[in-house]
Chain A
Amino acid sequence: MAEKLEETQASIAEIETLYRERYPRFLRVAVATLGDVERARDAVHEAFVRAIKSRGDFRGDGSLESWVWRTLVNVCLADLRHQPLPLPALEATAQAGQNDDWPELRAAIGELPERQRLTLFLRHYADLDYDSIGVALGVARGTVAASLHAARSQLRKVLGEVTT
């Protein structure tokens, strides 16, 4: 019976471990997506609250981390629907103290289709592999690859235009 207790508590403990080890990455992606640090902190908070509440729904189809990433993506998208991000995207992050050496790049990212933009963020800021991104966005691995390729191509084009 002692094992029952361990099983009962393990999921929250795992979510806690994920939170403590990956918080900066979750926050970074949320900031990139929402363009506002405070909204991003709220989104990460809300995502983990939801993860705890709905932990019984986790089926183990992918990793727990991917599942939480998906929750965060959903929270961010819901937030954006409620309060759309003004273009160019990421404007607020520049205001938050980052160097804004690439205003054209910011604008280009902001103009990417939503899936491409999220794929880019999850690959670059969260360092997720294609499979995990697929789980997080609810798309196939091939779609992840195609979205990332399209995003990179578009951004390279913009950077090329800027730097030549």
Chain B
Amino acid sequence: MTDYLSAAVDGLVPEFAEEQGDWPAVVRDAGVRQLAAAGKNHRSEVSGGGTHRRTRRRRVVVPAIVAAAIALPLVAVAASQSWWFFRFEGSPTPITDVKVVKSGTWSGQDWRLVAYLSSTDGICFGITPAGSEAEGRGAGMSCAAIEGVPRTSESKPYTPLAITFGSGSSERFPTYIVGPVIVVATEVVIHLADGTVVRTPTFDAPDELGRIRFYATPLPDVPRTMERPPLTQIRKIVGFDRGGEVVACLTVPMPEGGVTVEACR
């Protein structure tokens, strides 16, 4: 381009050199929570079934909130007598004790699935390696509004889901998936991008957490590259009742406006 023409074209549109955008809003609207872990250059991104509050400035109808979830990072914080996730600013305030829903062992590492009801974000749940209750090393936590979980006067106006999930991969565990599901679901089937199907039974939750059940299972090792993180392998999560009927459905990414069970039949 000639200098003359270049200068003319250049003058047509401002450079916006001072504009920085709003990265946190981008991450939030993408449905992931990206937080730096304390003292390390690690980040955690979580849960396609997570929060998606669309807050773009566009002057059009804003879609309804379809889900609610937050995620807390893998961390290494100073030892404490309390649970690691309460050390994080932004952790929803509990209205119940932290309940141990289930214990197990993956790849030789003992873990505990713990959950509590929050005043604002529904049920908070996550996998914590045994012995890391205070420091949270290798742990993860998500929160979501689920059918069967009691609401409070402070509950955010999220539409409750029939099923959601948290997923992670760390130095302590294989890639895993865990989450709450409506109480009538007895089995959860996870569909991965490569066609793999993983079936896992649901299990009871303490009554204090509401009328829900949980599921938790490691996922098959999948090829990982820089641009194909394992969490993106999850495509669909389906809950079945005792009679084999689809009672809960979540597709990843979740379409605007939510997803119905028909999408999984």
Contacts and interface: CB of A to CB of B under 8 A. Distances in A.
A44 B25 CA distance: 12
Give the dominant DSSP class at A's interface.
helix
Contact of B29 (A39, A49, A99, A125): A49
A150 B118 CA distance: 61
B230 to A, nearest CB: 6
A41 interface: yes
B5 interface: yes
Nearest to B14: A98
A60 B19 CA distance: 28
Contacts of A105: 8-9, 12
Interface string B7-30: 011111111111111110111011
A97 B170 contact: no
Given A53-B253, A106-B12, A1 B43 contact: no
B10 A124 contact: yes
B1 A98 contact: no
B224 A27 contact: no
Contacts of B230: 4, 8
A152 to B, nearest CB: 6
Contacts of B11: 98-99, 101-102
Given A5-B169, A8-B230, A45-B25, A31 B44 contact: no
B45 interface: yes
Interface string B49-63: 000000011110000
Nearest to A79: B58
A123 B193 CA distance: 36
Contacts of A87: none
Interface stretch (A10-18, A130-138, A139-147): A10-18
Interface in A1-58: 1-2, 4-13, 16, 19-20, 23-24, 27-28, 31-32, 38-39, 41-42, 44-46, 48-49, 52-53, 55-56, 58
A12 B5 contact: no
Contacts of A74: none
Contacts of B18: 24
Contacts of B9: 105, 109, 120, 124, 155
Contacts of A59: 227
Interface in A88-118: 90, 93, 96-99, 101-102, 105-106, 109
Given A5-B170, A6-B42, A56-B232, A27 B16 contact: yes
B81 interface: no
B82 interface: no
B45 A41 contact: no
B102 interface: no
A159 interface: yes
A90 B13 contact: yes
A20 B34 CA distance: 15
14 contacts: A8-B229, A9-B42, A19-B26, A23-B16, A24-B15, A31-B16, A48-B26, A53-B253, A55-B227, A56-B193, A90-B13, A98-B14, A102-B12, A123-B1
Given A20-B21, A124-B6, 15 more contacts: A4-B175, A9-B45, A20-B23, A28-B15, A31-B16, A39-B58, A42-B57, A45-B25, A45-B57, A46-B56, A90-B13, A93-B12, A98-B11, A102-B11, A105-B8
Give the 3 A-B CB pairs with smallest separation, nearest first.
Answer: A56-B232, A52-B30, A1-B171
